[in-house]
Amino acid sequence: MAKSGEEFIARFLSRAVSPGGLALEYGAGGVDYSRFLPARLVRTDLTADRGRLEVCCDIQALPFRPGLFDLVFGIAVFVYVPDLEGAIAELARVLAPQGRLVMFEYVRMINAYNRHYKKRAGYVHTVGLGRLGRALNSAGLNWRRLDLGPEKGRLAPGFIARRRWLIVEAGRWS
């Protein structure tokens, strides 16, 4: 296992897209994963205060044409999204026909983290596999769960905690 959550995610993503492809990170955080990807990365977030952000937009109204991205990924974003189904449908819309959607989500968060971000974002919840799976199915995507399990390490600079991650990979494969 990687020394940190960041490194694990970077290794996973580096194998998730072909060289020369186009990737979308929704809800881009402090870590710039472009240095790990063999594809061009477009970083988006709802707020413009996220470092090397390229597009400021809502995950539920992405300003991209359908089928544009070979890889679409996000890390701990759906804890802030009230309309999970709408957001998944929008991500599926911009995903290329043979593309991959990869979601790294919290199954369990420590209470202090939850309280901190609830104040900041106004909406925080953990994401359940059942609801996430139904939203993916409704969007016409097949999916599978990849379990990281308890991860000790840094996901974002300056924040260390024990979490349980849910990693889901989705696409239009048969």
Q: What is the CATH number of the domain that holds 152?
A: 3.40.50.150
Residue with tokens 């991959």: 100
The per-residue pLDDT for range 83-103, each reduced to its tens digit, is: 899 999 999 999 999 999 999
Helix (H) or strand (E) holding 75: strand 69-75
> Between residues 167 and 71, which one has the greater pLDDT?
71
Q: Burial level of 57, CB count in 10 A (0-12/13-18/19+)? A: middle
Q: What are 108's two structure tokens?
A: 């369990």
Q: Which residue has the higher pLDDT, 153 or 126?
A: 126
* Reported pTM: 0.82
Across 25-38, average pLDDT: 87
CA dist 141 and 173 (Å) reads: 8
Count Cβ atoms within 10 A of the Cβ of residue 123 and give its class: 0-12 exposed, 13-18 middle, 19 or more buried.
exposed
Diameter over CA atoms, the chain? 42
**Residue 160: pLDDT band with limits 50, 70, 90:** very low
Name 76's Cβ contacts closer than 8 Å, sequence gap at least 6. Answer: 27, 29, 104, 105, 106, 155
Domain that holds residue 148: 5-171
Domain count, the chain: 1
Confidence of residue 157 (pLDDT cuts 50, 70, 90): very low
